[in-house]
């Protein structure tokens, strides 16, 4: 059905054309045998190098019915300019002036396109004007996205998480981060990145020996060869991923809704944590690291920065009459990782935090969309330990709600009492794919309506063994892609990389959720009938 959509065929043709016309400017920071980054721009003559360059392509994000965020990065102080049109030939383009790329933002820039026509394919081209010489402009780099519809029509999107972790970086001999190309070829309306957008705490080395004796060869950079501590090192983790041509092509074609989790900063961090036992860090304050990490995240993702709360990552989108999206932040407002068995709610048991929970309830109550998708950076019922005696996730073992589970119990009770229907959770984090059905008839806490949770990932990162489920909310395993005895940190070359797709049929509003492997093969699929 997706392949028959004429707008998506047009979009694919446009991206092929744009790759040919602007691909020479998408220049990676290649690494020499000495390990030092080099600039390569094949086909660009010396005079071209006097112009501003756009080394890492373009991206769009937080697309709604009438607006979108356009992101790019220059190599110098310059002004971002965006021409856009509903025609790929740019017959009647409009022009918008974006922000200035300054050193303070690492020469990244964004522009908020507004008053766009709903349900339309938008084609755009980004140029940068050199502010040191106003007559010098970069060559354009093109991209495309589709605005959300105002009527009920087919919606097709993808989600996953966990990009380039556990030392598995860009391997050109293997084809780079191939799963991004697999996802791009499906031509989704948008992509939800469910967190661990980068792995700032996972250095990449030049070579890793695999179990069969073969060698996995990574592109390396000086900043990616250690854990990130400075702002520039955090930014360099985003730059590293953008060296991959699969990601750059994907970004130019697929708008994103992004969230973060722990590895954008460091593994399993929480506010106030001190990294006293980790000798890799000279900066011991997780809160200080997180402040720098959040700045880099906001600099390098096409996120709609909230003017009232400029560092707030949780947000929601009224995408169409069939779909609203609620993007959570399970990292910034949590209490410390503990044994998580407290018998009463307290500041220590915070997970989403009081303010975010109140916001989510309000947004769910206001929603008139048929489906309410909650994008959660961690699954609800999977137990994720942090050491031998503490937990990273809310799930803490069988039994009634304790610790961080109090917040989730309160939220699920609210959804039931307010008769909020058709809530689906999409998540990642655990580095395998799964489908869970939460059944109050099988639960210790029963004051909620049944719901589904789907887990995807990783994206060019290590794959890990299946996790244990906590029976507090009655999760039932309908599908899982790995076993309990899987050897940990399996490389991408073994094919255990996963993403999910969601298709909402326009007339019936049936939601089909599927889980796919590296090659795009469907491993599991289920049709969800909307409750009226």
pTM for the model stands at 0.91
Same domain, 142 and 172: no
pLDDT for the residue 197: 98
Residue 164 within any structural domain of the chain: yes
The residue among 79, 114, 146 that closes a domain is 146
Same domain, 140 and 160: no
How would DSSP label each residue in 178-233? HHHHHHHTT--SEEEE-S--S-TT----SEEE-TTS-EEE----SGGGS---SHHH
Same domain, 211 and 141: no
For residue 495, CA distances in Å to 200, 432, 462, 487 come to 24, 11, 10, 14
Range of the structural domain that residue 415 is part of = 156-528
CB 431 within 8 A of CB 450: no
pLDDT for the residue 47: 64
Count the Cβ atoms, other than its own, within 10 Å of residue 67. 15
What is the rounded CA–CA span in Å between residue 118 and residue 113? 13
What is the rounded CA–CA span in Å between residue 79 and residue 100? 4
Residue 132 within any structural domain of the chain: yes
Same domain, 89 and 233: no
What is the rounded CA–CA span in Å between residue 360 and residue 362? 5
What per-residue string of b and e applies to 219-253 under the rule 16 or more CB within 10 Å gives b?
bbbebbeebbbeeebbbbbbbbbbbbbbbbbbbbb
pLDDT for the residue 307: 82
What is the rounded CA–CA span in Å between residue 37 and residue 409? 50
User: 170 Cβ partners below 8 Å, 6+ apart?
Assistant: 164, 176, 177, 218, 219, 240, 241, 243, 244
Residue 264 within any structural domain of the chain: yes
Residue 173 within any structural domain of the chain: yes
Give, for all 532 residues of the chain, the pLDDT tens digit.
Answer: 333 343 443 544 445 444 433 433 333 333 332 232 333 333 333 467 799 999 999 999 999 999 999 999 999 999 999 999 999 999 999 999 999 999 999 999 999 999 999 999 999 999 999 999 999 999 999 999 999 999 999 999 999 999 999 999 999 999 999 999 999 999 999 999 999 999 999 999 999 999 999 999 999 999 999 999 999 999 999 999 999 999 999 999 999 999 999 999 999 999 999 999 999 999 999 999 999 999 999 999 999 998 889 999 999 999 999 999 999 999 999 999 999 999 999 999 999 999 999 999 999 999 999 999 999 999 999 999 999 999 999 999 999 999 999 999 999 999 999 999 999 999 999 999 999 999 999 999 999 999 999 999 999 999 999 999 999 999 999 999 999 999 999 999 999 999 999 999 999 999 999 999 999 999 999 999 999 8
Same domain, 133 and 225: no
CB 425 within 8 A of CB 372: no
Of 245, 204, 193, 167, give the one whose Cα is nearest residue 493.
Answer: 167
Angle, vertex CA 77, rays to CA 71 and CA 79, nearest 5:
55
Is residue 474 packed enough to be buried (19+ CB in 10 Å), middle (13-18) or exposed (0-12)? buried
User: 291 Cβ partners below 8 Å, 6+ apart?
Assistant: none
Phi-psi region of 196 (alpha: psi -120 to 50; beta: other; left: phi over 0): left
The number of folded domains in the chain is: 2
Same domain, 138 and 162: no
Same domain, 137 and 261: no
Same domain, 6 and 142: yes
The residue among 103, 123, 146 that closes a domain is 146
What is the rounded CA–CA span in Å between residue 246 and residue 170? 10
Residue 151 within any structural domain of the chain: no
Same domain, 370 and 417: yes
The residue among 104, 125, 146 that closes a domain is 146
Per-residue HEC secondary structure of 254-279 comes to: CCEEECCCCCCCCCCCCCCCECCCCC
Question: Can you say how many angstroms the Cα of residue 395 is from the centroid of all Cα atoms in its chain?
Answer: 23
User: 55 Cβ partners below 8 Å, 6+ apart?
Assistant: 25, 26, 27, 28, 29, 39, 73, 75
Same domain, 518 and 395: yes
Of 529, 489, 495, give the one whose Cα is nearest residue 512.
Answer: 529
Same domain, 141 and 161: no
The domain that holds 354 is classified in CATH as: 3.60.21.70
CB 122 within 8 A of CB 86: yes
Same domain, 181 and 86: no
The domain that holds 106 is classified in CATH as: 2.60.40.380
């Amino acid at each position: 059905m997706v392949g028959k959509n004429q707008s998506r065929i047009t979009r694919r043709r446009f991206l092929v054309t744009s790759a040919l016309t602007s691909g020479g400017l998408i220049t990676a920071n290649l690494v020499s045998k000495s390990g030092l980054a080099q600039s390569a721009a094949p086909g660009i003559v010396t005079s071209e190098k006097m112009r501003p360059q756009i080394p890492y392509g373009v991206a769009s994000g937080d697309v709604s019915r009438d607006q979108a965020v356009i992101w790019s990065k220059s190599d110098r102080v310059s002004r971002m300019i965006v021409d856009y049109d509903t025609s790929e030939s740019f017959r009647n383009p409009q022009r918008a002036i974006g922000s200035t790329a300054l050193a303070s933002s690492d020469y990244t820039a964004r522009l908020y396109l507004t008053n766009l026509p709903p349900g339309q394919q938008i084609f755009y081209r980004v140029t940068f004007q050199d502010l040191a010489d106003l007559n010098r402009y970069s060559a354009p780099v093109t991209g495309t996205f589709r605005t959300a519809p105002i009527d009920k029509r087919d919606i097709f999107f993808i989600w996953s998480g966990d990009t380039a972790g556990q030392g598995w970086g860009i391997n050109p001999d293997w084809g780079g981060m191939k799963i991004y190309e697999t996802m791009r070829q499906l031509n989704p309306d948008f992509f939800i990145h469910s967190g661990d957008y980068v792995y700032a705490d996972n250095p990449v080395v030049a070579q890793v020996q695999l179990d069969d004796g073969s060698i996995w060869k990574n592109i390396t950079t000086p900043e990616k060869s250690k854990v990130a501590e400075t702002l520039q090192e955090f930014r360099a983790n985003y730059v590293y991923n953008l060296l991959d041509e699969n990601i750059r092509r994907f970004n130019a074609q697929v708008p994103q809704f992004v969230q973060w989790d722990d590895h954008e900063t460091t593994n399993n961090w929480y506010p106030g944590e001190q990294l006293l036992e980790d000798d890799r860090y000279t900066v011991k304050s997780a809160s200080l690291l997180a402040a720098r990490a959040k700045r880099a995240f906001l600099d390098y993702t096409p996120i709609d920065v909230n003017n009232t709360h400029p560092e707030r990552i949780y947000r929601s989108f009224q995408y169409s009459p069939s779909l609203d999206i609620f993007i959570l932040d399970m990292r910034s407002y949590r209490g410390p990782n503990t044994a998580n068995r407290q018998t009463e709610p307290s500041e220590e048991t915070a997970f989403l935090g009081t303010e975010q929970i109140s916001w989510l309830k309000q947004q769910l109550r206001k929603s008139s969309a048929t489906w309410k998708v909650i994008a959660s950076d961690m699954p609800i019922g999977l137990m994720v330990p942090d050491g031998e005696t503490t937990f990273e996730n809310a799930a803490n073992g069988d039994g009634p709600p304790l610790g961080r589970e109090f917040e989730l119990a309160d939220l699920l009770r609210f959804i039931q009492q307010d008769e909020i229907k058709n809530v689906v959770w999409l998540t990642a984090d655990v580095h395998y794919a799964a489908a869970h059905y939460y059944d109050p008839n099988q639960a210790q806490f029963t004051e909620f309506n049944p719901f589904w949770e789907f887990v995807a990932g990783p994206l060019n990162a290590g794959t890990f063994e299946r996790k244990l489920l906590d029976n507090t909310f009655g999760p039932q395993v309908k599908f899982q892609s790995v076993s309990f005895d899987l050897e940990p940190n399996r490389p991408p070359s073994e094919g255990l990389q996963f993403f999910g797709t969601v298709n909402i049929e326009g007339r019936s509003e049936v939601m089909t959720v599927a889980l796919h492997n590296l090659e795009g093969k469907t491993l599991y699929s289920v049709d969800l009938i909307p409750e009226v």
